[in-house]
Structure 1
Amino acid sequence: MLYPEPIQGLVNELAKLPGVGPKTAQRLAFHLLNRPEGEAEALADAIVKARRRIRYCSVCYNFTDTDPCTICRNPGRDPGLIMVVEQPKDVVAMEKTREFRGRYHVLHGTISPMEGIGPDDLKIRELMDRLQTGTVRELVLATGSSLEGEATALYLARLFKPLGVKVTRIARGIPMGGDLDYTDEATLLKAFEGRQEL
């Protein structure tokens, strides 16, 4: 063992975080050890408090500390327009635009046969229950453009279109400020397919 057990334990736990490899975990551990004890305690307290108080909204399955969440409780949000996203972080990204005035449904993943994740592992049944109320007129599919995101969107479209609900997909294409020569073929194709009249 290179470090005393408490340091090695901290490095091991930090290395479990997404995007954190052994060297970054080591750097973070030493940074935390060099900070005042109060800062380390505040970080630990924030982690424990978030873990204990945050749960899924019983309507949309976003993270919340109140149930239902503030978006689902907001009477100014359109209950007939639901955007379906993969993860809670996608709700945050969409809310930053300040343009979407509907509500959300968080799937908590995508269909991925390679990882053993099927439709029953996602919050699809719960979305079906929301549609049974008859108040939803449009589903906006906002899953990612990965193979899994596309497969999930296709699966949902085939599942919900027969119910008489309008199913749309967010546009994909070239990002603002992007150059065509740096854009991959699949993105260019989607941008071309999603072209609009000016």
Structure 2
Amino acid sequence: MEERTRCSWAGDTPIYVDYHDNEWGRPTHDDRELFELLVLEGAQAGLSWLTILKKREAYREVFDGFDPAKVARYDEAKVQELMANAGIVRNRRKIEAAVANAGLFLDVAREFGSFDTFIWGYVDGEPVVNHWETQAEVPATTPLSDCISKDLKKRGFKFVGSTIVYAYMQSIGMVNDHVADCFVRRELAGKSSDEGIS
């Protein structure tokens, strides 16, 4: 089997490798997926992303497939039910934030036609392609993540600090932070040149 060079953070845990190879940094434009990743990035605060990936299927099950219209209608009884579920991160503030953010997500989608149009509008619909040699060079925040974080907070979103927002931008492919020798970077660069993106 061909040995592929990956970003060092991917390690050798299968679920992490799969996420790195098939999701991270690849442009996502589906509103349901964008909502899912927003919830999961918020849930990650103070925890490892590996912890969240391991709980992802449980989240999908108990959060109605991350349908924001359904999540926005969750009441206190549902929050209590979620708090009792060991399959997810049982943090009341994070769960309540996911419910509140669902309603705000829908508000933004109504205002802009889709959440996708809103969030990708920050980069004019084209991923920001960075040029890092090593993982150590990749920032935790940028002026753009600061700006998006400020906008989301102004709209009432919770768990959207600049570090969480930058991780979100990476996860949905708004930013390509795969390092120079990573095979995914080369794959994505090939797609960009095929599509005539400069």
What TM-score do the two structures reach when normalised by structure 1? 0.24
Structure exhibiting the larger radius of gyration computed from Cα positions: 1
Question: By percentage of residues, which structure has more strand?
Answer: 1
